[in-house]
Chain A
């Protein structure tokens, strides 16, 4: 178990005793425990990789932090210039605004608004982070360039694009005008080696800029390349934590 260090300098995220249980009312009301008391600290410029087998609760952890899952109990503190904010207790509207400004969430699959082009999707994300319309389009264009998305596709409906293209759009939207906290859930799973490398470079550069990253990768190389720290999850709990080579070496 990690030692809580809520007051260390540069703290961005402090998670304590986070629990999440699903009650499946449509299937005989059974319950599934997804997080069973998770603690996590992430500082600015830190890249924490969450490792573990499928079903260990890695994605649930990211979603409970983002609050697309509503945690049952526990604390998720985001440290902002205005002071710490308890995300689990934040009113919905305030959370929606805070998410737009401070938190990037990149899921494995892009679910963009239907019939919208990549440039619009990314520019909309940039606008939520506070950019004016014209600046937002410039930032979106830069971001898409950086991830190597063919300019001919920028105004094509995202729904017709390939999985790898969509994933890059998603990553561009999550990282444009970098947020304080970036949550990555398998962001490069569908990319070919060349684009994967571009994406990993982008993520690494964000960490260098001081973004706090919590990421789930299935691929160990990515974790070794990017993570400043790895937490190992099994059965809804964090069972080990440390530098990448220690943890991943132990797993391998």
Chain B
């Protein structure tokens, strides 16, 4: 039995009383009551929204940020004089950090301290969940170095917040996919991402994968504190915690084959390497008591994650062949053109975009008849105004005009990259075309880009992550659409790359190593991955040299013929428009000046501007 440590309460108090300039009535402590309230408020919110990172007003602590200042604050917020505290660092109660923290907290808070997990009511830890069983009376406080599970895939804090809010975790899935492609297994060890309560993806922070199953439906309360990032999050008791992994890729814990603890002989604890090629338990309390015979080994064996030991037969390299017919997610219900539905798939009415002050009031005095797009009244640039068109399934519409005529602006307003000043956009796949999608909230609009309306940008870097493999880029769209089978994703990616004539041998190469034409093909494959009914192409071949552009053009023409998509093609190049579209809209200075069948516009252009464009194309 480990003895309860009784330590004098002199050290810190003495320092504090010096700082207090002689005041002896001040209660000992590191945090004032206001700071504790702030922490408790955040902690309660965190418990109410499992896995969600709650911001809080983090204080300066007598440890460096990133070294446990968050866990320390949470502990100080929840611990009372009746509590019994245990502190673990690297699985060890006796390390310098653990000992100092334990002494400091118990001396300033007036609580008891212990190294025995069974006696502790609050366990502050870094790196481990104790091997001992934990119960409803116990709180485990984790010192979190990196609270954001998406940090590795997204640098922007605001973007991470958006991804959590919209439960948009496809970037996370792509990183798991990439890991599997490169290594055949998921190599991420500590901080393994889990889905908490079916809602938030959370970093399990410093614990190994070995401890992750312990968090699922636990009896105890888990609190996570990150001082540097000023975040507190929680896994309350009886909450589902699922490690993220593909349906056909089993989650694995760390395992040292035939490893046993050199000290206590356990073969079912989390082992770490000691000197001389030997292994020891990464839990000094458990190990010491196991050596003394003071543990329930049978009950422990029920807790340990033996079901998740690595099994080479279930890894992706071995299962690639078995699962030839693995199921795919059911294709989204695609409303076929109902008899009473609209004949168009996309309808744009009166789209306008004004950059600068004035809004619609800036429009008078601009346009082709005034030979300027700059408002004489406000100086605003009227990039597009009163642009309307619709496109039916199986039809391609061209949007043609010189650079600066506003065609790309219109496309960006339709897809949602820019906010339109005026007008409406309807999709037959959304509420039968009755809803103006411009009025939807940003998250719903972003959702449309997953499987309803895809865009191919002129610059492949705008639509692809160049550091990610060709397969991973396409997997991003598929996982966003709900695909969770690794092999199903691989097969779908192979199909798509084959269709766009990218050699399958390049499937697992980063797109950044591809030529411009190949990148554009990958971008097209990604756009087609979920078979969206509407496809927007913004200068798809501009920037490619002539022979490569011709290849991409042929590909697009073939795809538009074979799939029943409604396509909008933006180009300044009449040859591209002629090769791809049946109908076209001609834009000049932000306005539509002529529209009609593409062959008619080409052979019998009416507007002087169109005649000039056609004459230029013929040269």
Chain B residues, Cβ within 8 Å of A96: 395, 582-583, 597
Distance in angstroms from B167 CB to nearest chain A CB is: 39
Complex Cα distance, B395 from A25, in Å, reads: 31
Q: Which of B54-62, B503-511, B608-616 contacts A (4 or more CB under 8 A)?
A: B608-616
Decide: A95 and B608 in contact? CB cutoff 8 A.
no
Complex Cα distance, B595 from A217, in Å, reads: 32
Q: Is A114 an interface residue (CB 8 A)?
A: yes
Distance in angstroms from B184 CB to nearest chain A CB is: 41
Complex Cα distance, B597 from A93, in Å, reads: 8
Q: Is A68 an interface residue (CB 8 A)?
A: yes
Q: Is B418 an interface residue (CB 8 A)?
A: no
Interface string of B577-619 (1 = CB under 8 A from A): 0010011000000000001110110011011100110010000
Decide: B608 and A69 in contact? CB cutoff 8 A.
no
- Give the residues from 6 to 35 in chain A that come closer than 8 angstroms, CB to CB, to chain B: 22-26
Complex Cα distance, B558 from A116, in Å, reads: 10
Distance in angstroms from B405 CB to nearest chain A CB is: 17
Closest residue to B554 on the A side, CB-wise? A115
Q: Is A224 an interface residue (CB 8 A)?
A: no
Given contacts A92-B596, A113-B557, contact A68 B579 (CB under 8 A): no
Chain A residues, Cβ within 8 Å of B64: none
Closest residue to A34 on the B side, CB-wise? B604
* Cβ-defined partner of B597 (8 Å) among A25, A67, A114, A115: A67
Complex Cα distance, B557 from A68, in Å, reads: 21
Decide: A93 and B600 in contact? CB cutoff 8 A.
no
- Give the residues from 554 to 585 in chain B that come closer than 8 angstroms, CB to CB, to chain A: 554, 557, 561, 579, 582-583
Q: Is A200 an interface residue (CB 8 A)?
A: no
Given contacts A23-B606, A93-B583, A114-B550, contact A68 B612 (CB under 8 A): no
Q: Is A190 an interface residue (CB 8 A)?
A: no
Decide: B603 and A68 in contact? CB cutoff 8 A.
yes
Closest residue to A67 on the B side, CB-wise? B600
Complex Cα distance, B600 from A120, in Å, reads: 24
Decide: A68 and B599 in contact? CB cutoff 8 A.
yes
Q: Is A204 an interface residue (CB 8 A)?
A: no
Count A-B contacts at CB 8 Å.
52
Interface string of A110-145 (1 = CB under 8 A from B): 000111100000001000000000000000000000
Decide: A113 and B608 in contact? CB cutoff 8 A.
no
Decide: A114 and B554 in contact? CB cutoff 8 A.
yes
Chain B residues within 8 Å of chain A by Cβ, number = 24
Q: Is B46 an interface residue (CB 8 A)?
A: no
* Cβ-defined partner of A92 (8 Å) among B550, B597, B607: B597
Decide: A114 and B583 in contact? CB cutoff 8 A.
no
Given contacts A26-B608, A95-B597, contact A63 B550 (CB under 8 A): no
Decide: B579 and A114 in contact? CB cutoff 8 A.
yes
Distance in angstroms from A202 CB to nearest chain B CB is: 24
Q: Is A240 an interface residue (CB 8 A)?
A: no
Chain B residues, Cβ within 8 Å of A24: 611
The main secondary structure of chain B at its interface with chain A is: helix
Q: Is A70 an interface residue (CB 8 A)?
A: yes
* Cβ-defined partner of A70 (8 Å) among B579, B600, B612: B600
Q: Is B241 an interface residue (CB 8 A)?
A: no
Chain B residues, Cβ within 8 Å of A113: 557, 579
Distance in angstroms from A157 CB to nearest chain B CB is: 10
Decide: B611 and A26 in contact? CB cutoff 8 A.
yes
Distance in angstroms from A83 CB to nearest chain B CB is: 19
Complex Cα distance, B604 from A26, in Å, reads: 13
Closest residue to B391 on the A side, CB-wise? A93
Chain A residues within 8 Å of chain B by Cβ, number = 19
Decide: A69 and B596 in contact? CB cutoff 8 A.
no
Q: Is B478 an interface residue (CB 8 A)?
A: no
Complex Cα distance, B391 from A93, in Å, reads: 9
Chain A residues, Cβ within 8 Å of B603: 63, 68-69
Q: Is B363 an interface residue (CB 8 A)?
A: no
Interface string of A62-106 (1 = CB under 8 A from B): 010001111000000000000000000000110110000000000
Decide: B395 and A69 in contact? CB cutoff 8 A.
no
Chain B residues, Cβ within 8 Å of A92: 582-583, 595-597
Closest residue to B602 on the A side, CB-wise? A68
Decide: B392 and A93 in contact? CB cutoff 8 A.
yes
Decide: A115 and B550 in contact? CB cutoff 8 A.
yes
Distance in angstroms from A146 CB to nearest chain B CB is: 25
Complex Cα distance, B606 from A68, in Å, reads: 12
Chain B residues, Cβ within 8 Å of A23: 606
Chain B residues, Cβ within 8 Å of A70: 596, 600, 604, 606
Given contacts A114-B550, A124-B561, contact A25 B600 (CB under 8 A): no
Decide: A25 and B608 in contact? CB cutoff 8 A.
yes
- Give the residues from 179 to 212 in chain B that come closer than 8 angstroms, CB to CB, to chain A: none
Complex Cα distance, B550 from A115, in Å, reads: 8
Decide: A69 and B597 in contact? CB cutoff 8 A.
no
Complex Cα distance, B282 from A126, in Å, reads: 74
Complex Cα distance, B600 from A68, in Å, reads: 4
Complex Cα distance, B389 from A93, in Å, reads: 11
Complex Cα distance, B560 from A124, in Å, reads: 13
Closest residue to B614 on the A side, CB-wise? A26
Q: Please name 6 further chain A to chain B contacts, defined as beta carbons within 8 Å, in addition to the given A92-B595, A92-B597, sorted by A numbering.
A: A23-B606, A25-B607, A26-B612, A69-B603, A114-B553, A124-B561
Residues of A within 8 A of B (CB): 22-26, 63, 67-70, 92-93, 95-96, 113-116, 124
26 chain-A/chain-B pairs, Cβ below 8 angstroms: A23-B606, A25-B607, A25-B611, A25-B612, A26-B608, A26-B615, A63-B603, A67-B597, A68-B597, A68-B599, A68-B603, A69-B600, A92-B583, A92-B595, A92-B597, A93-B343, A93-B395, A93-B583, A95-B597, A96-B395, A96-B582, A113-B557, A113-B579, A114-B550, A115-B550, A116-B554
The 3 closest A-B pairs by CB, nearest first: A25-B608, A69-B604, A96-B582
